[in-house]
């Protein structure tokens, strides 16, 4: 073997140079592609310490991944085991080129401790890989992407880990390991040393075995390195920076479009080249784990939308048109929604914007930025939207409400209740922003009247805008009609800035979310509170006192825009317990952050649901199965959808808003 060390040095060096060069070329292309897209993202790299904390909790600590117990645990074991192997593999590469190199000679204590830990972590990674194989072969969850790519990744990883242990086993042979005392470093690998009876191998056989395993290990790592940028495991490169750069605040406004920009050729997302670099990083970061699909109400009920597939299909579209994008030949890039595209109108319009996909995503992909911007383009540039929305848009434009009722009747719900108008009482402590449902919908008006009575019982100084109020713009914006939404928002902002209210109270989570999180984009930043939190505050102050025995078998349905969008989960529950004689609520199987949508969000309230099972029916069946006789909600849209679902299933569950429950059980 006299010449072999020299040949090995040359071959290892050549393999390393080739592998890392190919990796660099592929990664550079991905980076250039990310920089070549046209979209602009208003991103500011701020709060570095907070982002570092997020990195350690979400990436190193795997907190998001572990929200799904067994798969999360398996991924965590693989993650740490795979990382633990890498310093050892790097040293093996260097030793392959420079045989005299040995970290253990420089820092024997530190290197020995590292090898001891890595040997154990690598073994637990094999346990995680075993579960991953079992899950794909036997459990086969429908939302999990499986195929040759996924299994190759597992195979690559398994080979790297197994050969790591075998190399360590051969290092226990004195003729291979040399003077360094490896026996104190390895626990798991030592088992392989004894099982394969390596101590009785001749020096030549031991060397042959070591070199064989060495080459398998090194070539597998380099092959894996080259394979990663073009595989589903591209997330190994993109996930960490995507998590580091994620929005740090939970509430999130829709992207504001400058509709007065005379130089803009289009609005919204019409082509994949119009993504911004952060969108592209989202595409790269996707692990195709399917957790978003598992939670998506549209996919669960048989709609053509899967958030995972949307991200994957747009990524594939980006790659297929990468040559034109890299060359800045944007005019030749094909539309995102086209005849042969898997991203269709039915896909885009099936989304309820419930945010379950974003909330559950372990790598913080912002699916809705892409879906809502694509809707915006379809409406503003293509006039392509569900036909029933035409009447809704017309009603918004003419009367500033989705049903087309005269805007001069906005305050009719309060007749005979002695509710003041802001024109008469501009210094009121609370501006009650009633919203379209509370002003015009028969069911919503009952909620508005109930809340007004409760506020009066508590002695709250409040007033309403009446005819001056306009639709908040939520439904129009999420339906893609940014122009119409901004028109209504501008009218509201003008009125709000005239009165400059001390606090704005809403019963509708859509009003709450829009006024609180999106109106600051338009120059109106006020203290906005949802009635669930405000009423709880009144109870805590002793201004509202429960009476009666309570309801009993009561459950609470979380509104998406109150819960997932704004993190308000506990206030309505505490409120209901206080007015339900301290009876515990029946928690639904899908509740709080994993609550199931009613189907009304994203302007779906005003669209027909002709594809698959009705979302509200799915939710009502879950409520019925829980044994509840009463269901409380804190959103007029949810109230309507649940009531319709109960009627369609011939159920007898009573649905009430929390304001109605409190109104009927308050001294």
pLDDT tens profile 103-125: 878 888 899 999 999 999 999 99
Rounded average pLDDT over 249-256: 83
431: nearest Cα among 364, 496, 522 = 496
pLDDT tens profile 190-208: 999 999 999 899 999 999 9
pLDDT for position 78:
95
Alpha-carbon gap, residue 634 to 656, rounded angstroms: 8
pLDDT for position 547:
81
Alpha-carbon gap, residue 183 to 566, rounded angstroms: 55
Alpha-carbon gap, residue 608 to 606, rounded angstroms: 7
Q: What's the first-to-final CA gap in the chain, in angstroms? A: 95
Alpha-carbon gap, residue 402 to 389, rounded angstroms: 9
Q: Would you say the CATH fold of 539-664 matches that of 398-538? A: yes
Rounded average pLDDT over 90-95: 95
CA 32 to chain centre: 26
What is the residue-averaged pLDDT of the chain? 94
pLDDT for position 551:
81
Alpha-carbon gap, residue 431 to 425, rounded angstroms: 10
Asked if pLDDT for residue 659 goes beyond 70, the answer is yes
Rounded average pLDDT over 177-187: 87
Token pair of 487 as six digits: 């028109």
pLDDT band at 263 (very low <50, low <70, confident <90, very high): confident
pLDDT tens profile 14-67: 999 999 999 999 999 999 999 999 998 777 788 999 999 999 999 999 999 998
| CATH for the 398-538 domain, from 3.20.20.70, 3.40.50.1860, 3.40.190.10, 3.40.50.150 | 3.40.50.1860
- Hey, what CATH topology would domain 539-664 get? Rossmann fold (3.40.50)
Q: Where are the domains of the chain?
A: 1-42+253-384, 46-244, 398-538, 539-664
Alpha-carbon gap, residue 644 to 638, rounded angstroms: 10
pLDDT for position 582:
65
Model confidence, pTM = 0.92
* DSSP per position, 501-514: -S-EEES-HHHHHI
As a residue count, the chain comes to 667
pLDDT for position 579:
87
Percent above pLDDT 70 for the chain: 99
pLDDT band at 519 (very low <50, low <70, confident <90, very high): very high
Asked if pLDDT for residue 126 goes beyond 70, the answer is yes
Specify the residue for token string 């199931």.
Answer: 596
DSSP 592: G
Strand partners, 16: none
pLDDT tens profile 578-620: 888 767 789 999 999 999 999 999 999 999 999 999 999 999 9
Specify the residue for token string 């899950």.
Answer: 135
Alpha-carbon gap, residue 71 to 600, rounded angstroms: 32
**How far is the CA of 533 from the CAs of 42, 290, 529, in angstroms?**
32, 34, 7
Angle between helices 482-499 and 367-380 (to 10 degrees): 110
Show the 3-state SS of 623-637. Answer: HHHCCCCEEEECCHH
254-264 burial: b if 16+ Cβ within 10 Å, else e: bbebeeeeeee
Can you list the positions of beta strands (E) in 220-352? none
pLDDT for position 1:
52
pLDDT for position 429:
97
């Amino acid at each position: 073997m006299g010449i072999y060390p020299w040949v090995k040095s040359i071959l290892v060096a050549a393999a390393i140079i080739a592998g890392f060069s190919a990796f660099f070329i592929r990664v550079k292309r991905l980076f250039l592609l990310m920089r070549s897209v046209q979209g602009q993202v208003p991103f500011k790299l701020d709060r570095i310490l907070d982002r570092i904390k997020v990195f350690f909790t979400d990436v190193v600590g795997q907190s998001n991944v572990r929200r799904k117990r067994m798969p999360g645990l398996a991924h965590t074991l693989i993650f740490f085991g795979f990382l633990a192997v890498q310093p050892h593999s790097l040293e093996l590469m260097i030793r392959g080129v420079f045989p005299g190199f040995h970290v253990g000679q420089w820092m024997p204590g530190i290197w020995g401790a590292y090898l001891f830990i890595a040997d154990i972590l690598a073994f637990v990674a094999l346990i995680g890989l075993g579960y991953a194989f079992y899950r794909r072969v036997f459990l086969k969850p429908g939302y999990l992407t499986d195929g040759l790519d996924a299994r190759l990744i597992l195979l690559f990883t398994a080979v790297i880990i197994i050969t790591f242990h075998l190399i360590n086993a051969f290092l226990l042979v004195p003729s291979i390991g040399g003077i360094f005392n490896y026996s104190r470093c390895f626990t798991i690998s030592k088992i392989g040393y004894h099982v394969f009876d390596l101590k009785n191998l001749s020096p030549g056989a031991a060397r042959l075995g070591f070199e064989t395993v060495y080459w398998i290990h090194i070539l597998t790592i380099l092959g894996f390195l080259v394979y990663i940028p073009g595989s589903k495991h591209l997330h190994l490169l993109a996930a960490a920076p995507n998590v580091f750069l994620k929005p740090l605040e939970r509430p999130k406004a829709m992207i504001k479009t400058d509709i007065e920009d005379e130089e803009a050729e289009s609005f919204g997302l019409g082509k994949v080249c119009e993504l911004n670099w952060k969108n592209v990083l989202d595409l790269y970061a996707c692990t195709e784990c399917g957790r978003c699909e598992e939670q998506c109400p549209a996919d669960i009920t048989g709609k053509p939308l899967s958030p995972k597939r949307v991200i994957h299909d747009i990524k594939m579209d980006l790659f297929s048109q990468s040559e034109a994008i890299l060359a800045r030949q944007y005019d030749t890039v094909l539309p995102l929604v086209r005849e042969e595209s898997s991203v269709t109108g039915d896909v885009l319009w099936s989304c309820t914007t419930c945010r379950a996909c974003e909330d559950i995503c372990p790598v913080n992909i912002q699916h809705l930025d892409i879906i809502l911007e694509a809707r915006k383009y379809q409406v503003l540039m293509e006039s392509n939207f569900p036909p029933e929305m035409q009447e809704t848009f017309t009603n918004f434009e003419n009367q500033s409400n989705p049903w087309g009722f005269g805007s001069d009747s906005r305050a009719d719900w309060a007749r005979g209740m002695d509710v003041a108008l802001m024109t008469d009482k501009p210094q009121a402590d609370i501006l009650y922003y009633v919203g379209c449902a509370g002003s015009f919908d028969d069911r919503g008006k009952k909620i508005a009247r109930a809340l007004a009575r409760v506020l009066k019982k508590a002695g709250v100084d409040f007033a309403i805008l009446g005819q001056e109020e306009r639709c908040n713009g939520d439904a129009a914006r999420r339906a893609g009609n940014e122009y119409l939404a901004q028109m209504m928002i501008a009218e509201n902002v003008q009125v709000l800035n005239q009165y400059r209210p001390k606090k704005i109270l809403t019963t509708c989570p859509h009003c709450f979310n829009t006024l609180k999180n999106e109106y600051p984009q338009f120059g109106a930043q006020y203290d906005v509170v949802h009635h669930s939190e405000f009423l709880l505050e009144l109870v805590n102050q002793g201004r509202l006192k429960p009476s009666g025995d309570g309801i009993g078998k009561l459950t609470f349905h979380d509104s998406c825009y109150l819960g997932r969008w704004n993190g308000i989960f506990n206030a309505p529950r505490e409120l209901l317990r206080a007015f339900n004689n301290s009876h515990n609520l029946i928690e639904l199987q899908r509740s709080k952050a994993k609550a199931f949508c009613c189907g009304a969000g994203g302007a779906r309230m005003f669209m027909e649901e002709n594809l698959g099972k009705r979302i509200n029916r799915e939710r009502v069946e879950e409520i019925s199965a829980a044994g509840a006789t009463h269901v409380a909600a804190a959103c007029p849209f949810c109230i309507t959808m649940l009531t319709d679902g109960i009627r369609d299933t011939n159920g007898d569950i009573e649905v009430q808003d929390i304001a109605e429950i409190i109104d009927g059980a308050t001294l």
